[in-house]
Structure formats: structure tokens, C-alpha cells
Amino acid sequence: MKIGITGTPGTGKTTLAKLLSKHLKYRYIDVKKLVKGTEVDLKELEKTLKPLLKDNVIVESHLIAEIPLELDVMVVLHASPRALKRRMKKRNYPEWKIKENIEAELLDYFTIYAEENYSKIIHIDTTGLTPEKLLRKALKYLEKGLSDNINHEKELLKYALYNKI
């Protein structure tokens, strides 16, 4: 199976990808290691990734939502604005970057692109989940084709109004 994992920074993409890779014994592709610099040519990234997507693989990045790859399923991770802010502050993200990433969640950026490029999408809300609980939930959702109904609308709107977005 070929699994993609995408979502706003701070949602748990790398954590889930590594845990799934270890649990399922799938090869893990960390797109960050393939990308040089801050400007990314998505067409070049697509060309680089395509030959790597053989057999059982997990590919993880916020960038892959925008690239049509031959994946069996795309997992889009979500978290509440409060959780995202807390996680990004812990990583010492600058305030402007935190705001930018929460705006991406507000606009449902990753869902929109994933729906354009992939036929099977699973949404997982990572708010309040430990890595172990996230792994169990992801395994269950992948096996049964389940998906969370994401609704952080109230909190996102409150965040948008407070921050004058």
C-alpha cells in the first residue's frame, strides 16, 4: 500500500509517518530530506518522488497535497488552532509562521488540494492524541476506511476574528 500523510505543520505528520512505517514495516520517505532550500519546484518534486513510490511506502510532507502522486490513500491530519499554536510555540516557530499555518488550517488548504489530487482521503483530528493513540486511530481508519468529521469551525472563526484575518 502507498500512503501519503499531509496537513498543516504541527498536526503530527512526521510522528505518524514514523510510527506507521515502523509498525507496518513500510519504507518511509521524508520529503524534507529531498528538498533543498525554501523554494520548492513542485513539478521537480513530483518527478523526484514518482520513482520512489514502489511497493509499500509512506510519504510525508505538507507539500504532497499539491502533487498528484500514485498513492492508495492520502491521510490529511488536522488539529485545533489552540493545539497547533501550542505545538508550534514548543518548536520555537516565529509568531508570523504560527499565524500563517493556522490560516492554512482555517482555509482548509490541505483538504482542498488533497481533494483535487487524490480519490481516497482519510481525515484525522490529532487534537489531544498521544502518539500511541494517533497510531491506533490511524491503523483503524486505514483498515476500515474511516474518517473524522473535522469541525474546529468555532475555534477557527474566533481565531480569525481575534487576529483580524
Per-residue pLDDT reduced to its tens digit, 40-59: 899 999 999 999 998 999 99
Q: Is the pLDDT of residue 158 over 90?
A: no
pLDDT at res. 134:
98
| Percent of the chain topping pLDDT 90 | 78
Query: Which residue(s) pair with 68 in the sheet?
Result: none
pLDDT at res. 151:
75
Q: Is the pLDDT of residue 130 over 70?
A: yes
**Overall pTM surpassing 0.85 (yes/no):** yes
The structural domains of the chain, ordered by start, are 2-80+107-150 (3.40.50.300)
What average pLDDT does the chain have? 92
Mean pLDDT of 3-29: 97
**Burial class of residue 25 in the structure, from the number of CB atoms within 10 Å of its CB (0-12 exposed, 13-18 middle, 19+ buried):** exposed
| Percent of the chain topping pLDDT 70 | 95
Q: Using one digit for the tens of pLDDT, what is the confidence trace for 105-114? A: 888 899 999 9
- Residue 12 or 34, more confident: 12
Kindly give, in sequence order, each residue whose CB lies less than 8 Å from that of residue 122, ignoring residues fewer than 6 positions away. Answer: 73, 74, 75, 76, 141, 142, 145, 146, 147
Q: Is the pLDDT of residue 152 over 70?
A: no
d(CA 81, CA 65): 20
Mean pLDDT of 67-92: 95
Mutual angle of helices 81-90 and 153-162, in 10-degree steps: 60
